[in-house]
Amino acid sequence: MFNFLKKAFGKTSEAIHEVAPQKHKEISKTLFEDILLEADVHYELTERLLHGMPEKVNRIQAYNSLISVFQYKADFKESDAKPFVEMIIGINGAGKTTTIAKLAYRYMQNGKSVILGAGDTFRAAAIEQLTRWAERLNIPIVATRQGHDPSGVVFDTIASAKAKGIDHVIIDTAGRLHTQTNLNEELKKMVRVAGKAIEGAPHRKLLILDGTQGSSAINQAKSFDAIVGIDGIIITKLDGTAKGGAVLSIADELKMPIFYIGIGEQPENLIRFKANEYVNTILDEIFIK
């Protein structure tokens, strides 16, 4: 797991080494501040993390400060409903379709059956891309043509899962900005229709955030949460950015569960996020063990 995380935060580690080329048993409070800012931790959060720290900071003090960001109540529970219905939300380019494939692969590795719903009927390319993933993973998909009602896809996918005894339903949605009123009304309708198809669905609404956007992804998350209520986050593309510290800012601002992080393009490149391992991966680049 640590090797995967080290890969995920490789560019963040390089950015840290530019500020602090050598590892130390202790570092100055000023240097610790520079490291956090370089890794794209919000300035206000950085100041709070440093508040009350001594002028020389050791690893234990640094760990206790950073891990404190994640000390909020986060609900990671899964419903025992069958099928378990998830709706995947986010803007275009965040990596929604690839993340859906990774989630499906993860469930299959745990012996569960999966069906996909191509609910992004706004773009023909999205339907084609998700269909290719379904073929590659050898799992069923419910899809229609571009421009058709995505709520119909939601209902038909859940109905198919119920009829076939499938464990997991993963539904794609059109990439949208929080300012696109028509698409957001459509998203609300999709949520309502899922609830009609099976009580309590969607059981989890996951927001995909592009890690390369750093802290700017926070406003996206707040807006989507206001529209439909977000149950958790998956952060993608962290292997391609030096902004790995933005995870701290995202957690601090949103107080939402971070379920997974994406670390590559392959189906297996999705790992469960664990705050202690994340913090230790960052600190391994700063302090001598």
d(CA 268, CA 152): 30
- Bond from prior residue into 202 cis (ω within 30 degrees of 0): yes
Look at residue 215 in the predicted model and tell me its pLDDT: 59
Q: In the chain, which segments carry CATH 3.40.50.300?
A: 84-274
d(CA 109, CA 103): 10
Look at residue 61 in the predicted model and tell me its pLDDT: 97
d(CA 125, CA 91): 15
Nearby residues of 275 by Cβ (< 8 Å), 6 or more positions away? 67, 69, 70, 251
DSSP strands (E only) in the chain: 26-28, 56-58, 84-89, 114-117, 141-142, 168-172, 204-210, 232-236, 258-262, 270-272
Provide the CATH topology of domain 84-274.
Rossmann fold (3.40.50)
Look at residue 233 in the predicted model and tell me its pLDDT: 96
Residues 148/154, Cβ–Cβ less than 8 Å: no
CATH number of 2-72: 1.20.120
Look at residue 114 and give its three-state secondary structure.
strand
Residues 45/120, Cβ–Cβ less than 8 Å: no
CA distances (Å), 61 to each of 27, 38, 64, 147, in order? 11, 20, 5, 55
d(CA 127, CA 142): 10
Look at residue 212 in the predicted model and tell me its pLDDT: 79
Look at residue 16 in the predicted model and tell me its pLDDT: 85
φ, ψ for residue 68 (rounded to 5)?
Answer: -60, -25
Q: In the chain, which segments carry CATH 1.20.120?
A: 2-72
Q: Which two tokens stand for residue 81?
A: 């409903």
pTM exceeds 0.75, yes or no? yes
Q: Which two tokens stand for residue 70?
A: 């994640």
Ranges under pLDDT 50 in the chain? 1-2
Give CA 60 to chain center in angstroms: 28
